[in-house]
Structure 1
Amino acid sequence: MSYDPPRPAGRLLLTPEDRDAPARTARLRGLGLGERSEPALDAFADRLARRTGAPYAMVNFLDGERQFFAGLHRPERDVLTVDTDGTRPEVGRYLARDHGFCPHVVARRKALVLEDVCDYPRFAGNPVVDEFGIRSYLGAPLIDSTRTVLGTVCVVDVEPRPWGREGLDTIKSAAAELVPLLEGREPGGFLI
C-alpha cells in the first residue's frame, strides 16, 4: 500500500488518501446505510465485543469526510483515560476521517492488527491515541459483492492486546459474516 507524499511542511499524512469515497458513499446510500444507527448493528457490535473480549466494538461506515459507527458497543463503565482537566472523552457515533485506524483498513482493503499502536510510529501519532487513550486495534474491511469497501468491523482497547492469529481470524470472519447481511437487508431493517 502506498501512502500520501509528505505535506509541504515535511510532515507525513497519517491518513491515506481515499479515492473510492464517492463510489463508497453512493453504494452506502443505495443500501440505505451510513446515515443512522441500527439496533441490529449495535447487537452485532455487542457480540463482537464479547467474542474478542474488547471493551469497544464498531461497525463503521466511511464517506469522504467522516466515519459513522452504525453499530457501536461501549462498556457500561467507560475505560477511557481521564484528561488533565478531569473529564473523560466519550466515544460517540461520529469520528473525523483522520482519526483512528479504519481509514487505513479501507485503503489497504485488508485487515489490520495493531497489538500496541505505540510500536508503530505511523499509528502512534494518530489523534485517538492521545484523545482517547487507544492502545490496540483489530479491524477488517467490509467488501461487498461489487468489490466496494463499505467500511469496517473493528474492536479497540485502551491496553495493548495480543490479538494474534485468533484475533485476526475472528475479525475477518465477523466481516465475512456481516457483508451478506448488509446486502440482503430489507428497507428499514436487517435480516440479522
Structure 2
Amino acid sequence: MRYGPAGRLLLTPVDGEAPERVRRLRELGFGDRPDPVFDEFAHRAARATRAPYGMVNFIDENRQFFAGLHTPAGTHSGSDLSTSAAAAAARGTGRVLSRDRGFCPHVIVRRKALVLEDVCDYPRFAGNPVVDEIGVRSYLGAPLIDRAGIALGTICVVDTEPRPWGRAGLETIKSLAGELVERIHRREDGAI
C-alpha cells in the first residue's frame, strides 16, 4: 500500500502514463464527448452482467470522462446513480468524474481487470468517495489497452448492492474490453 507524506493511505494510484495517454486519446478523438458506439458498449456490458450501470471511461491526468454510459433510467447521466439526482448533479456527477473518485484509475495503473464484489470488504476501496457520495457497492472493470500498449480507459459496470461477479463476470468484462479495443482499432484504420 502507498501512503502520502502525512501517513494517509493514498486512494488514487500514481499514474505515470497519463501524459502519453492524453496524447493518444487526442489523436483518436476520444475523451471529451459522448459517443453512441460507446453508449451501446456500456449498455451491452450492463445487460451481459445484469448490472444497473455500465460505462466506457477515458482517463486523463485530472478527470474521467464516460464516453459511454448506461443507467437504469436510460438518461446517460450518472446522476441517476444517487438517490438524490439533484445532489449528485451538484457534485458534478454525470459523464465527468474527478480522477480521485471511483475505481477505474486503479484499473488503468494495474493494467488488468479489477473485481470488487463488495467494495466495503477492501479498506483501500471502501474509503473512496463514490461509496458514500454516490452509493457504489460493487465494481467490475477491465482496461482498454490499445495496439500502442497504452491503457486508454476502461469498460466497467457497477451496482449499488454487493454482487457476486464470479469468473463469468470477469471473463465477460475482459471479452467486452477486447472487442471494444478491436472496434477502436478498426475506427482508427478507417474500416468503420
- TM-score using structure 1 length: 0.90
Alignment: residue pair count = 185
Q: Counterpart in 2 of 1:159?
A: 161
Judge conservation of contact 2:114–2:142 (CA < 8 Å) in 1: yes
C-alpha RMSD of matched pairs (Å): 2.0
Change (3 A) 1:147 1:132: same
Match of 1:143 among 138, 142, 145: 145
Report the CA distance between 1:183 and its aligned residue. Answer: 2.0
Could you say which residue in structure 2 is the equivalent of 1:182? 184
State the distance in 1 between where 2:115 and 2:163 align.
10
Matched with 2:114 is 112
Query: What residue ranges of structure 1 are gaps of 5+ in the alignment?
Result: none
2-side partners of 1:70 and 1:87: how far apart? 22
For 1:34, the equivalent position in structure 2 comes to 31
Structure 1: which amino acid aligns with 2:105? P
Distance 1:186 1:17 in 2: 29
Correspondence for 1:44 among 10, 22, 41: 41
Deviation (angstroms), 1:8: 2.3
Task: Tell me which moved more, 32-41 or 154-163.
Answer: 32-41
Query: How far 1:82 moved relative to its partner?
Result: 3.2
Contact 1:80–1:88 (Cα < 8 Å) also in 2: no
Residue equivalent to 1:25: 22
CA distance, structure 2, for counterparts of residue 140 and residue 157 of structure 1? 16
Q: For residue 48 of structure 1, report the CA deviation from its aligned partner.
A: 1.2
Matches within 5 A, 1:70-81: 70-76=67-73, 80-81=81-82
TM-score normalized with structure 2 length: 0.90
2:100 partner letter: D
2:22 equivalent to 1:8: no
Q: After TM superposition, where is structure 1 displaced by more than 2 Å over at least 4 residues in a row? A: 77-83, 86-91
Structure with the higher fraction of residues in helix conformation: 2
CA contact (8 A) 2:28 2:188 kept: no
Q: Percent identity?
A: 64
Question: Which 10-residue stretch deviates more, 16-25 or 30-39?
Answer: 30-39
Measure the CA separation in 2 of the matches of 1:87 and 1:178. Answer: 32
CA 1:143–1:32 in 2, change beyond 3 Å: closer, same or farther?
same
Distance 1:98 1:136, change over 3 A: same
Question: Matches of 1:22 and 1:82 in 2, distance apart?
Answer: 35
Structure 2: stretches of 5+ with no match in the other structure:
none
